């Protein structure tokens, strides 16, 4: 029976040979086999899993892997990758602040659309294009209202925007309801830079307050 270390080394070997598709299942098996109490090994595997997903262009899934790795080891390589690649929304950093904002707005609205569907998924590329065009039409109006807002204020504003998507039996009135993060011990609302209330000891924006990207909504989370 193979150990987690055996799968891990196979994954690293595949990665050094520039074969991320081959490396991915090895790192997943390494995670499955790794002892639950071995935090440093989990952090190490998750770092390489993130690097593999980044090479496969699943950028936000890579970031999520590094965030999980940082929960196991807060000063490891995953922390450095998060500093380099994440933005204020807990998503992969784009080329500009406006593109970061668009990514967050699109992902939040796409989540509402998917939640309003019975199938809970996008059915075709044409459907995705239609939804993206509709969201972008609203985005052109939204841009003019967020210039002086902080990231948490923008997020709250993005969530408040209601787009009536053309869904048969539209259930979006339920999908738009959002929980308000609040720390009852400190008696204040939780913002992105505060430590998350779940006990992970990492910023809320990178933990429970992280916005799930459109990439993850469409392709699933690794």
**pLDDT tens, N- to C-terminus, the chain (222 residues):** 689 999 999 999 999 999 999 999 999 999 999 998 999 999 999 999 999 999 999 999 999 999 999 988 887 889 999 999 999 999 999 999 999 999 999 999 999 999 888 888 898 999 999 999 999 999 999 999 999 999 989 999 999 999 988 865 545 544 444 555 555 455 556 665 788 878 787 888 888 889 999 988 988 755
Domain co-membership, 41 together with 137: no
Q: Considering the entire predicted model, what is its pTM?
A: 0.83
C-alpha angle with apex 104: 101 to 106, nearest 5 degrees? 105
Domain end, chosen from 60, 85, 110, is at 85
CA atoms within 13 A on the CB side of 108: 27
Last residue of a domain, one of 85, 118, 148: 85
Q: What is the pLDDT of residues 149-183, one digit of tens each?
A: 999 899 999 999 999 888 655 455 444 445 555 55
| Length reported for the chain | 222
Q: Is residue 90 part of a domain?
A: no
Same domain, 49 and 104: no
* Closest to 31 (Cα-Cα) out of 53, 55, 59, 54: 53
| Residue 91 belongs to some domain of the structure | no
d(Cα 175, Cα 217) in Å, to the nearest integer?
A: 15
Domain count, the chain: 2
CATH assignment of the domain containing 72: 1.25.40.10
Q: Which domain holds residue 152?
A: 97-219
* Residues 101 and 206 reside in one and the same domain: yes
């Amino acid at each position: 029976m193979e150990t987690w270390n055996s799968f891990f080394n196979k994954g690293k070997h595949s990665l050094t040979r520039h074969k991320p598709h081959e490396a991915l299942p090895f790192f997943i098996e390494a995670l499955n086999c790794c002892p639950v109490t071995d935090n440093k090994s989990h952090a190490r595997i998750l770092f390489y899993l993130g690097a593999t997903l980044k090479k496969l262009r699943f950028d936000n899934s890579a970031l999520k892997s590094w965030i999980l790795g940082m929960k196991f080891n807060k000063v490891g390589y995953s922390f450095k990758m998060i500093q380099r690649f994440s933005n204020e929304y807990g998503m992969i950093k784009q080329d500009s602040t406006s593109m970061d904002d668009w990514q967050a707005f699109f992902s939040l609205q796409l989540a509402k659309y998917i939640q309003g569907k019975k199938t809970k998924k996008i059915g075709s590329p044409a459907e995705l294009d239609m939804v993206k065009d509709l969201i972008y039409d609203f985005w052109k109006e939204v841009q003019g209202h967020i210039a002086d807002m902080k990231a948490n204020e923008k997020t709250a504003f993005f969530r408040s925007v209601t787009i009536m998507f053309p869904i048969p039996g539209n259930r979006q009135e339920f999908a738009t309801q959002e929980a308000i993060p609040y720390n009852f011990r400190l008696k204040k609302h939780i913002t992105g830079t505060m430590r998350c209330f779940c006990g992970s000891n990492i910023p809320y924006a990178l933990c429970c307050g992280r916005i799930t990207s459109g990439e993850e909504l469409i392709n699933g989370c690794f």
